[in-house]
Chains A and B, each alone.
Chain A
Amino acid sequence: MSEVKFISPETLEQAVDAYYKSSKEGKTKILAGGTDLLVQIRSGISQPDTIIDIKNIKELKEISNDNGSYTIGAAVAGAVLDEEEDFGNNWPGVLEALRLIGSEQIQGRASLGGNLCNASPAGDSVPALIASGATVKVHGPEGERNMPIESFHAGPGKTNLKNGEIVVNFQFPKKQKCSGDAYLRMIPRTEMDIAVVGCAVNVTIENDKCVDARVALGAVAPTALLVEDASKALIGSNFEKEAVEKAALACEAACNPIDDKRGTISYRKKVSKVLFKRALEKAIERAKKG
C-alpha cells in the first residue's frame, strides 16, 4: 500500500462532506471497526487512498432506548452492545447473531454498520436485523433517509447507498409482547468460520397462535433474504406440523445459492429448512417467555 490519507471527523456533516468530495477524486473507504476493511486492504482487494474513520462521531457510537424502541449507532462495537443488558432481553436473536462474528478480539471492534455495509451475503447480523424489522438511517449529501434492512443490499459486496451516504444507526421497532427472535448459522467448524447458511426467525404469539412472523435467510442468495412466503405460512397457524413444513419449503424455495467451496446448492437448500425449523423452535420458546 502506498500513502493513504486518514481523516477522523467528529461530526456527521464533516464526515459526509469529506466522503462525498474525496470519493469523486479517488477511492475512499469508511472505517468503523476495520475488521473487514483492514483484511481487504492487506489482501489487496481494497486499495483506498483515503480512509474516513467514523468512530469519533457521537451519533454513530450511541445506544438509546426510547420507551422500548432501541436505536443503535452504526459503529457501536459488538462487545459494547453485549454489555447493554436490556438489549439482549429484547432482541436475543440480533445479539446472538452479532456475537457470532469472529472472536473475543474481533468483538471489541466489529460493528453492525460494518457487517451491513460490507454486504457479504453471509454476514451474520443481517438476517437477524431483517427478521427484527429494524430500519437503517443513512445520512448523505442530500440529507437523511430511512431504509428497511431487506432493501439495503444490491448484490454481493454492493449496497444501495448513494455517493457520500453513511449509515448512522439502526432503529428497532418496539418489541411486541410474547414475541421472540433467534438466529442460527451452519458452519463446518464450531467458530471462526463463515456461514454456509444463516437463518433468523422472529415470531409473535397470541393465545398460542402465530400473529406475526418474519423469517430471513443468509448465505443462500446474492443478498440476505426476507422470506415472505414463510411468514405467510406461519401467521395464523398454531405452528402445527403442516404450517411449519410449508414455511420450511418456502425457505428452500427462496434459496438461490451457488455451488462453491463452502457448500453445494443442494446442501444449502436442505440446510436452510433444517436451520429454519431449529431457529423457529428457539424463537417460539423465547416468545412464550414474554
Chain B
Amino acid sequence: MNEMDNKWIGKNTIRPDGADKVTGRAEYAADTIMPGMIWGKVLRSPHPHATIKSINTKKAEKLDGVFSVATSADCVDFPVDTPVILGIQDIRWMARNVLAKEKVLFHGHPIAAVAARTEEIAEKACELIEVDYDVHPWAIEIDDAIKPDAPILHDFIKFDGKPSNIVGTLEHKKGNIEEGFKDADIIIEKEFETAAVHQGYLETHACLVSVSPDDKTIIWSSSQGQFMVRAMTSFITGIPQSSIRAIPAEIGGGFGGKTIVYLEPVATILSKKSGRPVKMVMTREEVMRASGPTSGSKSKVKIGAKNDGKITAAQGTFYLQAGAFPGAPIRGAAGCCLAPYDIPNAHTFGYDVVSNRSKVAAYRAPGAPIGAYAVECVIDEVAEALKICPLEFRLKNAAKQGTKAVHGPTYPVMGYVETLEACLSHPHYKAPLKKLQGRGYASGFWFNAGGESSAQVNITEDGNVVVTTGHPDIGGSRASIANITAELLGIDVNRVSVLIGDTASIGFSNLTGGSRVLFASALVVTESTNQVIDILKDRASKIWNIDKEAIEWENGQARPAGDNAGKFKPLTLVELAEKATPTGGPIGAGHQVNTVGAEGGFATHICDVEVDIELGIARVIRYTAAQDVGKAIHPAYVEGQLQGGVVQGIGWALNEEYIYNKEGKLDNPGFLDYRIPVCSDLPMIDTILVEVPNPKHPQGVRGVGEVPIVPPLSAIANAIYNAIGTRFYSLPMSPPKILEKISD
C-alpha cells in the first residue's frame, strides 16, 4: 500500500466509543442489572499469614436475606504439587487467590463470600462467618522473605534443596562476563530499590453472573479478556467452557491488572448455589488490598566500558516481589533491561520472591521498568564518568538490525537508533535550563506479543460493514480497526462499525495484553477483509459474466481491470450488497490464527525536572517521549498511549508506593495516600512518533502501549541528579526521601 495514498490509516478518526463515554451511556460492568439480582460480598483475611483451621458459615447462612455462601470447598481442588498452566498463570495459585484454601497469605486475602438481598446484609453475614486461624509470623519485604529464618509461605516449594520464598529464577547469558569486565577501563556497580505500585485503574473490579439450573452461565464483567474470564471461571468452578458465555463490558482501565479474575468464579458459585443472578463490585480499598499491584524490587547492576565509550560487559541481578503466589515478572526485568544495547558479554539473573502481600498482576510491560530503572541509571553514571553525552553514549552502544540480544533473539528491522537520533535533533535536547532544573535521558524496550486472534467481517444488507473482534478495546483498537477496514475496502470510515464479540459470538481471542491487540487483530481483520473483497469480486463477476481475475477492487467498487475485460459501470459495495441474495447469499468472512511476528518496541525519553531543595519536591516540568511505533494507524491514540505510559511512570518514580504498617497491613489503601499524579502535577508530554514499520505486519504495526512506561523511572532519576547533583537509588523519590538525602 502506498503511504501517500492512505485515506484512513494514519488519520485521527472519531472514536467509535467516544459519544457513549462522554454522555455516560457506555456500559461498564457495574452498570449491568438483572431481575432478581442479589449482591455478593467477600470476607477477607484479617491476618497477613495464617493457617485456616476451620470455617463455620452456619450463622451467616441463617441470617435473614442471605441466599448463598461460598468457600474454597465449593471450588475445584487443584493439588499444590501439580501445575495447571493457562498462559502465564497457574490455576493452582489463581484458585487459591480467589478463595483461600489451606492458608491465608496476605491481609485482605478472600476467605469466603456471601450473596444476599443487599450489599449491607451480605457484609453483615460475612462478619458472622467464624474462621479459626493458626496465626504465623509474616514477611513483607524482600529482605525479610529471603533471610535464613524467614517464615515460609509455601513449604513445598524448594530453593537450593530447602523450603524457600524464592520460588523461581531466570537467567540470560551472552559471551564471557569475566573477560568482559577485564577489558573494561571503567566499571560502575550500584544497587536499587523500587516500591510495589498499583495499576490505578479507575473502574474497580465488578461483575454480574447468572447461572441457570442447567449450569448455563452468563458473565458480564470488566476484564482484559472475556476468553480469559471464561477459561479461569471454568477451571475454578468446573463448569465447562461451552456452558459459559462471558460478555465483555466497556473497561475503565486495566493496565494489565484485569488479565486475571478475582470475582467472577466467586459470583458464579454464589449464583449457582442461590439460583439468582449475583452482582459483585469491589470497593477501592478492596482493589488496593487484594488486587494485583506490580512487584517491588531490589536489584544490582554492574556495567563496564572502555574509555572510547564501548560497553564491554553488563550484569544485573533482580529480586522481584511476587506477592503471595509465585509469578513475579522477572522475565520483563532480566529480559528487557539490556535489550537496547549491543553488549558482547552479559549476564542477567532474576529471582521470583513470594511474601505476605497481595498477588502481583501484570502492569504495563511487567517487570521491564524495574530492570530498565537500574540499568539506565548506571548507563547515565558510566556516560558521565567517560564524559560522553548520555544519548551519544547510547548511540555508540545501540542495538541494531542483526544484533544478538542478551535475551536471545537476533533483531530484525527496528527503530531504536532512530529514537535516539530523534531526541538529539529535538529542540528539547538543547533547550536552556534554569537553576535547580535538570535533564535526564533513558531508553526502554518491551517484547510485544502476538498470539491468538479471531475476526469476522460482515457486509450488511445495506452495504455497510460490521467487524467483530474478540479483544476488549483498551487503547483504541476499535478506531484503528475501523481505519484499516475502511482503507482496505476503500469506503468511508463511518460505514464501518467495530464490535467486541462475547465468547459465544467470536472465535477464541487471547487477552488484551502484551501490546498485542492491534498487531494481532489487524492481521486477522486484514485477512478477513481481503477474503470479503475476493467474494465481492466474485459476485461482480457473476453479474457481469466475466472472469473474477478480470475484476479489480478500487475505491469501494468492483470494476473491470482493463478495457479487455469489457465495459461495465463499476458496482459499488451498496449495489453488490443489494444483489447478495441472487448472487450467492450473505457476504462475510472470518479468520482465526495464532499470530506471529510481533516485533519489539524501543523508546527514548527526555525529561526535565525542577527540584525545590527546601521541601524536597521534584516536579517534572518538560517531557518528550520518542518511540518506534511501527506504523501509527490512529496517531492520536498512539500519542495517548505514550503520554499515559509516561504519566504512570512519573507516579511510580515520584510518589506511588505500597506502604505496610507494623501489623503487616497495607496502610494506604486509597487514592488519598496512594498518590497517583493529578493533572496539575504534569507537564504537556510531547511525543515523537518514529515510524519504522514492522516488516512482518501488513500495516507495519508494532505494539505501542507498554514501552512508554519503561524509561520514565530512570529518566526522572537521572534528571534529578542533573538538577541537584545527588543520585537516588530508591523509588519513590518522594519529598521526605529527597529532603533527607540532600540535607545529610
Question: Do residues B680 and A188 form an inter-chain contact, with CB atoms below 8 A?
Answer: no
Say yes or no: B681 contacts A1, CB within 8 Å: no
CA distance A274 to B668 in the complex (A): 27
Q: Is the CB of B675 within 8 A of A189?
A: yes
Q: Are A266 and B740 in contact (CB under 8 A)?
A: yes
Cβ-defined partner of A2 (8 Å) among B120, B285, B734:
B120
CB of A252 to closest CB in B, whole Å: 13
Whether the Cβ atoms of B678 and A192 lie closer than 8 Å is yes
Chain B residues lying within 8 Å of A266, measured Cβ to Cβ, are: 740
Contact B681 A271 (CB under 8 A): no
Size of the chain B interface, CB-CB below 8 angstroms: 25
What A residues does B734 contact at CB under 8 A? 188
* Interface-centre pick from A2, A192, A262, A267 (highest chain B CB count, 10 A): A267
User: How far apart are the CA atoms of A191 and B615 in the complex, in Å?
Assistant: 16
- Is A188 a contact partner of B675 (Cβ separation < 8 A)? yes
Asked if residues B735 and A267 are in contact (CB atoms below 8 Å), the reply is yes
Contact of B673 (CB < 8 Å), options: A43, A191, A262, A267: A262
Give CA–CA (A286, B667) in the complex, Å: 41
Contact A189 B735 (CB under 8 A): no
Does B736 reach chain A (CB closer than 8 Å)?
A: yes
A271-B678 CB under 8 A given contacts A1-B120, A193-B672: no
Please tell me if A194 contacts chain B, counting CB pairs below 8 Å. yes
A108 contact set on B, CB distance < 8 A: none
| Residue numbers in B under 8 Å from A189 (CB-CB) | 655, 675, 677-678, 680-681
A162 to B668, CA, bound (A): 33
Which of B614, B659, B675, B739 touches A193 (beta carbons < 8 Å)? B675
Contacts of A194 in B (CB 8 A): 672-673
Q: Is A106 an interface residue (CB 8 A)?
A: no
A270 at the interface (CB under 8 A from B): yes
Q: Do B120 and A188 have beta carbons less than 8 Å apart?
A: no
Once the chains are docked, how many angstroms separate the CA of A256 from the CA of B85?
54
- A94 to B64 alpha-carbon distance, docked (Å): 52
Give 1 or 0 for each of A185-212: 1 = CB within 8 Å of chain B CB: 0101111111010000000000000000
Whether A274 and B680, one on each chain, are in contact in the complex, defined by CB atoms closer than 8 angstroms, is no
Quick check: A261 and B736 within 8 Å, CB to CB? no
> In the complex the two chains form, what is the Cα distance from A245 to B120 in whole Å?
56
Chain B nearest Cβ from A220, distance in angstroms = 14
A188 with B655, Cβ < 8 A, contacts A194-B672, A261-B667 known? yes
CB of A263 within 8 Å of the partner chain: yes
Cβ–Cβ contact B681 & A267, under 8 A: no
Q: Which A residues lie within 8 Å of B680 (CB)?
A: 189-191
Contact A186-B615, Cβ < 8 Å, known A267-B736, A267-B740: yes
Contact A261 B678 (CB under 8 A): no
Q: A270 near B681 (CB under 8 angstroms)?
A: no
Contacts of A40 in B (CB 8 A): none
Does A14 sit within 8 A of B, measured CB to CB? no
Distance in angstroms between the alpha carbons of A267 and B738 in the assembled complex:
10
Quick check: is A65 within 8 A (CB to CB) of the other chain? Answer: no
21 pairs of residues in contact across A and B, judged by CB atoms under 8 Å: A1-B120, A188-B655, A188-B734, A188-B735, A189-B678, A189-B680, A190-B680, A190-B681, A191-B680, A192-B678, A194-B673, A261-B668, A261-B673, A263-B735, A264-B736, A267-B735, A267-B736, A267-B739, A270-B743, A271-B615, A274-B615
Give B residues with C-beta under 8 Å from A: 120, 285, 614-617, 619, 654-655, 659, 667-668, 672-673, 675, 677-678, 680-681, 734-736, 739-740, 743
Give 8 A-B pairs besides A188-B735, A270-B743 with Cβ atoms closer than 8 angstroms.
Answer: A2-B120, A43-B285, A188-B617, A261-B667, A263-B735, A264-B736, A271-B615, A274-B614
